Structure 1
Amino acid sequence: MAKRDKQAIGQRFLQAFREAGAAEVAPDILLPAGTLLDLYGEDIRARAYTSTDPLRGEVMLRPDFTVPVVQMHMAGGAEPARYCYLGEVFRKQDPGEERPAHPRDNEYLQVGFELFAHDPQADAEVFALFHKLMAPYGLRAVTGDMGLVMDAVRALPLSQARCDALLHHVWRPGRFGRLLARFARPVTPRDFAEIAAPWAGMRSEAEMERRMARLKADEDAASLDPVWIARLERMFAISAPMPGALAELSHLADEWPDLAPAVGRVGERARMLSDGGIAPETILFDASHGHRTMEYYDGFTFSFVAEGRAGWPPVATGGRYDALTAVLGRGGRAIPAVGGIIRPGLVAELEVS
């Protein structure tokens, strides 16, 4: 598929986003690495192209659009605000634990839409826009809610340090599962020997001392009762058309009341979609959706999947990322935000098949 054909499809979606009230923006391709490393830690190096500039320091080829768009908006944008964009993103395909679950191009087009607004209808507005644009392609619409997952983690009878560790890895199911299994076992005491040798290594002595203090404090933590892991597994296993999924979630919330507010949010979103003409029974709700596939989303998540296309990533993805705006805003100021992207290259393949 020629790049100009993908660009033409991207321009078509970009025009649809403009008609939905979005202002077009063009974030830089070369971004300061510091912000991305602060957000994602060293894991981002496994999927981003990095280099060093003699004046700017470490830089990365743009791995996505959301972070630079949020930075631009939080630097002085009014609200409500809608933005759209079209351009390449760059992802390394290094092997290893952090490799994406699906093969991806090292460079591919994204066309996207972002909405910043204190509006309870925002999730439904963005999803309805993508639902309309994806309707001609016969894709499977899947939704989830990372707020539900995070509320479940916060409700576990764990120390704050253990809870924070799980939340840090909530988008990495492999690490998340290993941590959970470790917390269910008795802690093996560690012996940190006192030595007089000079400190050496990439981490500072103060960082390692804080790490050792956390490990020592964790020795007194009680093991997590397996009943809690069973409840989490039961929640993650819920995958059904939205009405059926809501019924299962409601039954789970009867014995796990901390989940009731999040389940209520899922139900209210289903009502909004129905009011907007989208039948909830045609939408799959997968409780592990964002947990498996998306990083930094902390609320509603969605994707549009081409069934029967083995190895394909979703054709479109999106969701809510309120916490990201607080991290990137001045003085921790947050603005509710939700958005999504479409991959024109995959749409191009669907149109010729």
Structure 2
Amino acid sequence: MRVEPPVPEAALAAIRAPLEAAGATRADAPLLQPLNLFLDLAGEAMRARLFVVQAEGGAEACLRPDFTVAIARAHLESGRRDGRYLYEGAAFRASAGAERPEEFLQVGLELFAPQSQGGDGAAEAADAEIAGLAWRACAAGGRADLSLRLGDVGLFGPFIESLSLAEGLAARLKRVAGRPRLLQAELARTGETAGGARGTLASILSGLSQAEAGALLEEVWALAGVEPVGGRGPAEIAARLVRKAEAAAAPALTDDQAGAIRAFMAIDDSPDAALARVGELAGRNDRALNAALEGWARRLAELARVADPHRMRFAPALGHAFDYYDGLTFEVVSEALGPERPVAVGGRYDGLLARLGAGLGGGEGRAVGCMVRPWRAWDGGEQ
């Protein structure tokens, strides 16, 4: 395994200082994490980038690929309604075709708040605070070629609503907003006639509850003598089969609708120009979209106090490897390293709390966080 070189202590202290000053509690996360959870969040394609381990007869696990999910789970298990957590430690991800470190240092901050604290601009203020802290931490590393790339997965939903699509089609598109590969597959279906083959098993499963569908699939496995592998349960597999069958049978986008979505996904400009373009494509006749654009005006006003607006870009489709982000997304990028090696990433992930908290009696809340790579932030580090 290729290990990232250490950052000199003075440089590391400067990079972590803005995050330490945010008044957060120190937190850690177990080195081993449940593989199934990360595959749910990033798709099966992520498996090739994870270091998978499995004891004989046990569930598959992976070396910690990031801290956000683990910190969020620990927060939910604590029963606290709000919290700020600072972390620092090694993460592990296999290099995708390049000779890059596979064990590397991450420093980050995760902020949690009750759902009720999202009004009156509180969520936008938290977004701007986290993105600003990430920017200051990266800038403390000494690089002079940094820029702040902003996005918003949450803009896609209101934009889709403004296109007046069929209900099922709109819902499916919203589900894949943060997963470019799946969205491109939907765009590739443009012009197809509805009513594709669903398959007998998928048709039967689609009429059942998730628990009933899972029980039926488990019975089919038992009759066929099938032993499932990979850690996925029957209910989850049944749900995926039904979604795929429904996608094949549902109406496809028209050429005009697909063109509007492609134009939206292609936006990449200064924040003011990019957000104006979003409004133009949607016709500015959607209340939810207008509210989202107003929220961005507040975020940008806050961020302008920390970072030079001329070093900011906005691309609404900006996403990350894990698809739990459902609002603001951002990256701090070095011109020397390029967009494939961001210095920091982060964003809002309110929906992840509900997904993780399903087995803990709830989990609604608001969450936003950031992760900084000190070896990339330091001007004497990665080149």
| TM-score, normalised with respect to structure 2 | 0.76
Structure 1 residue 11: deviation in Å? 4.6
Corresponding position of 2:364:
334
Corresponding position of 2:26:
24
Q: Is the 8 Å Cα contact of residues 325 and 335 (structure 1) preserved in structure 2?
A: yes
Structure 1 residue 350: deviation in Å? 4.4
Corresponding position of 2:109:
113
Structure 1 residue 55: deviation in Å? 7.7
For 1:95-244, list aligned pairs within 5 A: 104-117=100-113, 118=117, 119-120=122-123, 121-135=125-139, 136-138=142-144, 139-153=146-160, 162-187=169-194, 189-190=196-197, 192=199, 199=224, 202=228, 221-244=250-273
- Given candidates 267, 291, 295, the residue that maps to 2:323 is 295
Structure 1 residue 134: deviation in Å? 2.5
Q: Does 1:267 align with 2:263?
A: no
Structure 1 residue 12: deviation in Å? 4.1
Q: How many Å separate the matches in 1 of 2:241 and 2:110?
A: 41
Gaps of 5+ in 1: 96-101
Q: How many Å separate the matches in 2 of 1:75 and 1:105?
A: 32
Q: How many Å separate the matches in 1 of 2:244 and 2:77?
A: 38
Q: How many Å separate the matches in 2 of 1:152 and 1:93?
A: 35
Q: How many Å separate the matches in 2 of 1:75 and 1:206?
A: 24
SS in 1 for 2:62: strand
Q: How many Å separate the matches in 2 of 1:310 and 1:235?
A: 23
SS in 1 for 2:108: strand
Corresponding position of 1:99:
none
For residue 16 of structure 1, what is the amino acid of its counterpart? Answer: P
Cα offsets for 1:4-47 (capped at 9, x unmatched): 33676445433432222111112111123343344445344222
Q: Is the 8 Å Cα contact of residues 242 and 281 (structure 1) preserved in structure 2?
A: no
SS in 2 for 1:111: strand
SS in 1 for 2:132: helix
Q: Is the 8 Å Cα contact of residues 195 and 250 (structure 2) preserved in structure 1?
A: no
CA 1:251/1:90 → structure 2, altered by over 3 Å: closer, same or farther?
same
What is the alpha-carbon root mean square deviation over aligned residues?
3.5
Q: How many Å separate the matches in 2 of 1:246 and 1:212?
A: 37
Could you tell which deviates more after superposition, 2-11 or 119-128?
A: 2-11
Q: Is the 8 Å Cα contact of residues 270 and 312 (structure 2) preserved in structure 1?
A: yes
Q: How many Å separate the matches in 1 of 2:179 and 2:254?
A: 22
SS in 2 for 1:174: helix
CA 1:63/1:168 → structure 2, altered by over 3 Å: closer, same or farther?
farther
Corresponding position of 2:274:
245
Q: Is the 8 Å Cα contact of residues 126 and 338 (structure 1) preserved in structure 2?
A: yes
Q: How many Å separate the matches in 1 of 2:4 and 2:199?
A: 59
For residue 152 of structure 1, what is the amino acid of its counterpart? Answer: F
Cα offsets for 1:104-151 (capped at 9, x unmatched): 532111111111123331011111212222234220111010101233
Corresponding position of 1:98:
none
Q: How many Å separate the matches in 1 of 2:337 and 2:244?
A: 45
For residue 134 of structure 2, what is the amino acid of its counterpart? Answer: F
SS in 2 for 1:186: coil
For residue 102 of structure 2, what is the amino acid of its counterpart? Answer: N
SS in 1 for 2:101: coil
Could you tell which deviates more after superposition, 217-226 or 245-254?
A: 217-226
Structure 1 residue 221: deviation in Å? 3.3
CA 1:141/1:38 → structure 2, altered by over 3 Å: closer, same or farther?
closer
Structure 1 residue 249: deviation in Å? 2.2
CA 1:246/1:207 → structure 2, altered by over 3 Å: closer, same or farther?
closer
Corresponding position of 1:254:
283
Q: How many Å separate the matches in 2 of 1:236 and 1:301?
A: 14
Cα offsets for 1:252-288 (capped at 9, x unmatched): 23266363333232223223334x4545444211122
Percent identity, please: 31
Structure 1 residue 248: deviation in Å? 1.7
Aligned positions, number: 344
Q: Does 1:50 align with 2:59?
A: no
SS in 1 for 2:54: strand
Could you tell which deviates more after superposition, 212-221 or 76-85?
A: 212-221
For residue 361 of structure 2, what is the amino acid of its counterpart? Answer: G
For residue 232 of structure 1, what is the amino acid of its counterpart? Answer: I
Q: Is the 8 Å Cα contact of residues 240 and 285 (structure 1) preserved in structure 2?
A: yes
Structure 1 residue 336: deviation in Å? 0.7
Q: Is the 8 Å Cα contact of residues 4 and 375 (structure 2) preserved in structure 1?
A: no
Q: How many Å separate the matches in 1 of 2:80 and 2:235?
A: 41
